[in-house]
Amino acid sequence: MKTQLESAREGIVTKELRIVADAENIPVDVLIKKVADGSVVIPANINHKNLVPCGIGQGLRTKINANIGTSSDYGDVDTELAKLKTVIEYKADAVMDLSTGGDIDAIRKKIIEACPIVIGSVPIYQAAVQKMANYEAVVDMTEDDLFYAIEAHCKDGMDFITVHCGLTQRAIALLKQQKRVTDIVSRGGAFLTGWMLHNQKENPLYEHYDRLLEIAHRYDVTLSLGDGLRPGCTADATDRAQIEELVTLGELVHRAREAGVQTMVEGPGHVPLNQIAANMQLQKTICENAPFYVLGPLVTDIAAGYDHITGAIGGAIAATQGASFLCYVTPAEHLGLPDIEDVKNGIIASRIAAHAADIANGIPGAAEQDLRMSVARKNLDWEGQKKECIDPIRFDAVRKNKGTDTEACSMCGKYCAMKIVEKELGLTHHGRC
Amino acid sequence: MKTQLESAREGIVTKELRIVADAENIPVDVLIKKVADGSVVIPANINHKNLVPCGIGQGLRTKINANIGTSSDYGDVDTELAKLKTVIEYKADAVMDLSTGGDIDAIRKKIIEACPIVIGSVPIYQAAVQKMANYEAVVDMTEDDLFYAIEAHCKDGMDFITVHCGLTQRAIALLKQQKRVTDIVSRGGAFLTGWMLHNQKENPLYEHYDRLLEIAHRYDVTLSLGDGLRPGCTADATDRAQIEELVTLGELVHRAREAGVQTMVEGPGHVPLNQIAANMQLQKTICENAPFYVLGPLVTDIAAGYDHITGAIGGAIAATQGASFLCYVTPAEHLGLPDIEDVKNGIIASRIAAHAADIANGIPGAAEQDLRMSVARKNLDWEGQKKECIDPIRFDAVRKNKGTDTEACSMCGKYCAMKIVEKELGLTHHGRC
């Protein structure tokens, strides 16, 4: 079995590579070089049979991820399948199943079965949660428990898995020394930190990284190297603990590539706007251009209830500065679990951020869509606008609600300035006055 | 009568200047220099009796504006007064009354009377609309009609007025030559262009700028030099017509300052993310650091229904690159007139953008609020979070709706990682898992 990375290095054009090249409208021989050097990944588990492959990385359209999954209080798989349907309908490029409640194995299998887009997970959640479900402590989790969960997720078809391999004893020591405001906000990072401090051992995902690489290689699972020490508030951003972990992740990207395993790197988190560019540039050099998968970043801490907007601001900037993959943030962030409406709003906000960056980055097809939209707007062509806009359902709903679902100009009533200009002077007219 | 600008130049500390210095927590002697050199304005019409003054410009907190106003189809003043109440409750720093329907004079007086925040208007709307109401064409508007409206708005207490003085015959010629996708999207710009082309005359606001300065000086009205040729789609951004108008606005800033009149400059509009910094830097040098008042900018054209998000992305970047004043964009933009819910969402999105920029710009007090929020979050102090968050009403509503309005951690159910870390290892706990 060859991974996508190994195939690309040998010049073999896989079916997946061809599909991605077509979807991105770039030549196969350009794409294959990016996959070969690791600046693009094609997360495509050999056991994810219904996957439509998608590339993530430099020079491609910015991708976005939506999280779903049961929790201990909400363990119903049908709710999550309904969310998955929404995720697909609203055009997220990837989804993560973060289930921690109900029959986690069965839920995962059902979700993968129903999922034609790239799918990922965080296996340590299951390993830790199952310990607790057995009335044991997370700190009593064995290394085998952890690798057992990882293997199960890989075998079932996860295209990528988040593994917090860079969270070392040294990084934790730096974290303790510098006294953060919010310490650790990554759930996986917290589980591991608890385990490492209690057991006074190094992170098994770091220490036994070769074992992880062997499993990932077997199924061609892309490792998404997690940032267990990502800042949980803007005051904690870009500190020594975060950057120490990033340095280790860079080391691990290098080792994964040597083993023929594809990698992405996960990034912050809460980051002030003026620190985003530096964070993206650091990741590029330290992690040898591995695709950067960012959570937000959230550019302020005070917008609970509106963090999809905070994340869209940070995500748009991040994606113009080097991030390739944006994890959505929903309006429910910091307040509760997202419902379907939150999922929709989170996806749309992330897609706006990604698309704004794609225009700025000159990604083929991006500005062209805006041009078609603008021409339709100018021509008062509402069907044309609906076709090009980011959410046709909402487009119709708002127009209906406003009573502007007519052929008329929607904003100014009878004093439409464009109409006047058009009528009197032959300049063209459009929909926004 | 001395304007704020003239007083500052003479070293006179006005009551308004002192209030602004206190509100911004900066020394009076620092602020007075900024007002004297025009990099900060204090829009405070001598006839706006109930105004709590507010400064706009370099080194101050980024300010945001919300638009309200009747249209030909919706002429009810009570609706607009209700919107004004929302605008104040949701903490916009300024409001513009763009009324074009009903008894415009009476509505304006009532809105000003009820308005303790900075208020502005676009007098040419009224001048043009009243022509049409009399079954005449906009192009038959006389120069006196226009100046009559301007004088009426100034006399009634408008703190700033938008005047499209830089829209010259040369700029229109450039616009025609280069063939835009959406030509002109500024309503005032369109009225003037129609008038200028039909009458084959120069823009009266440019040609008779001294008359305008005399009126503005009399009431200390700040001129907000409008961008009649702002791009209406990203494809039209930063073109010759737009920049020609900006150059003229810079010339007019200089002349206004010589006449002791305060000025701001209005800016785009639809601008790709990677062109925002250049636009802001251009304005700073061309317009001698006059406060830049931007509409958005919108970083993509395709997000109708979500343009408050598109505008927040652009606004946050603009405000870190030199813009001082953000005009809100509501979710109704491009689709219809905003209702109260749209007004709320528009204001909050703009405030998030402004605040994110203030953190990045190191504005006193900005990061401190985030720190208080983050400490409250860490301590599961929900009352503390509510106090610091951008929208306490929504904060409560979401928590209630999610059933997370308890003392418990809101995200992870019983598998809260922070609790585990805290319990087993003495690290602190916070609200977000």
Backbone angles phi, psi at B144, to 5 degrees: -65, -40
Q: Given CA atoms A213, A215, A221, A225 in this order, what sign does their dihedral have?
A: negative
Mean pLDDT of B94-108: 95
pLDDT of residue A405: 74
Q: Which of A183, A229, A309 to mutate to probe the B interface, most B CBs <10 Å?
A: A309
Q: Tell me the mean pLDDT in the region A271-276.
A: 98
Q: Does B319 touch chain A (CB under 8 A)?
A: no
User: What average pLDDT score do residues A208-214 get?
Assistant: 98
Residue B418's pLDDT is 62
Tell me the two tokens of residue B279. 């636009």
User: CA quadruple A188, A189, A194, A195: dihedral positive or negative?
Assistant: positive
Angle at B197 between CA B192 and CA B198, to 5 degrees: 100
pLDDT band at B132 (very low <50, low <70, confident <90, very high): confident
Report the pLDDT value the prediction gives residue A54, as an integer from 0 to 100: 98
Per-domain boundaries in chain B: 4-360, 366-425
Tell me how far apart the alpha carbons of residues B381 and B309 are, in angstroms, rounded to a whole number. Answer: 29
Q: List chain B residues with CB under 8 Å of A241.
A: none
pLDDT of residue A132: 84
**How many beta carbons lie within 10 A of that of residue B199, not counting itself?**
14
Q: Is B271 on the interface with A (CB under 8 A)?
A: no
Report the residue of B341, B382, B432 to disrupt the A interface, i.e. the one with the largest count of A CBs within 10 Å.
B432
**Does B415 contact chain A (CB < 8 Å)?**
yes
Candidate from A137-146, B277-286, B298-307 with smallest mean pLDDT: A137-146
Q: Report the pLDDT averaged over residues A264-270.
A: 97
Helix, strand, coil percent values for chain B (each to nearest 5) = 55, 10, 40
B294 phi and psi angles, rounded to 5 deg? -110, 150
Q: Which of A100, A181, A388 sits opposite B371 (nearest CB)?
A: A181
Peptide linkage before B188 cis (omega within 30 of 0): no
Structure tokens at B47: 């006839």
Instruction: Judge residue B144's burial from the number of C-beta atoms within 10 Å of its C-beta, 0-12 exposed, 13-18 middle, 19 or more buried.
Output: exposed
Q: What pLDDT does residue A4 have?
A: 98
Other Cβ atoms less than 10 A from the Cβ of A72: the count is 16
pLDDT of residue B425 exceeding 70? no
Q: Are strands A222-225 and A160-163 parallel, antiparallel or unpaired?
A: parallel
Q: Cα–Cα–Cα angle for B244, B245, B250, nearest 5°?
A: 100
Report whether pLDDT(B369) > 70. yes
pLDDT band at B133 (very low <50, low <70, confident <90, very high): confident
Query: Do A212 and A228 contact (CB within 8 A), yes or no?
Result: no
Q: Which residue of B has its CA nearest to A339?
A: B402
CB-CB under 8 Å, B412 with A187: yes
Q: Residue B97: which of B74, B73, B123 has the closest Cα? A: B123
Rounded Cα distance, A70 and A274, in Å: 36
Contact indicator for A336, B403 with CB cutoff of 8 Å: yes
Q: Are A229 and A242 in contact (CB under 8 A)?
A: yes
Q: With 90 as the cut, is the pLDDT of residue B38 above it?
A: yes
Query: What average pLDDT is seen over chain A?
Result: 93
pLDDT of residue A189: 95
Residue B432 has pLDDT above 50, yes or no: no
The stretch B161-185 carries a mean pLDDT of 95
Average pLDDT over residues A90-105: 96
**How far apart, in whole angstroms, are the C-alpha atoms of residue B235 and residue B333?**
18
Please return the burial class of B394, using the count of CB atoms within 10 Å of its CB with bins 0-12, 13-18 and 19+.
buried
Place of tokens 């801490």: A301
Smallest CA-to-CA distance from B335 within B303, B364, B358 is with B303
- Please check the confidence at residue A135 and state whether its pLDDT lies above 90: no
The pLDDT, as a whole number, for residue A428 is: 47
Of B328, B248, B243, B324, the residue nearest B289 (C-alpha): B324
The mean of the pLDDT values for chain B is 93
Q: Does the pLDDT of residue B134 top 90, yes or no? A: no
- Give me the pLDDT at residue A24, please: 97
- Spatial distance between the Cα atoms of B352 and B51, rounded to a whole number of angstroms: 24
pLDDT over 90 percentage in chain B: 87
pLDDT value at B426 more than 60: no
Say yes or no to pLDDT of B166 above 80.
yes
Q: Is residue A34 scored above 50 in pLDDT?
A: yes
CATH of domain B4-360: 3.20.20.540
pLDDT at B407: 59
- Predicted TM-score (pTM) of the model is 0.95
Per-residue pLDDT at B421: 65
Would you give the DSSP letter of residue A220?
T
Kindly tell me if the per-residue pLDDT of B320 is higher than 90. yes
Instruction: Name the pLDDT band for A417 (thresholds 50, 70, 90).
Output: low
Find, in chain B, the residue whose alpha carbon is nearest to that of A190.
B417
pLDDT in tens, A362-400: 999 999 999 999 999 999 999 999 999 999 999 999 999
Is residue A62 predicted with pLDDT exceeding 70? yes
Does any CB of chain A come closer than 8 Å to the CB of residue B320? yes
Q: Say yes or no to pLDDT of B417 above 60.
A: no
Contact A272, A237 (CB under 8 A): yes
Confidence at B433, pLDDT banded by 50, 70, 90: very low
Predicted confidence at residue A433, as pLDDT, reads 37
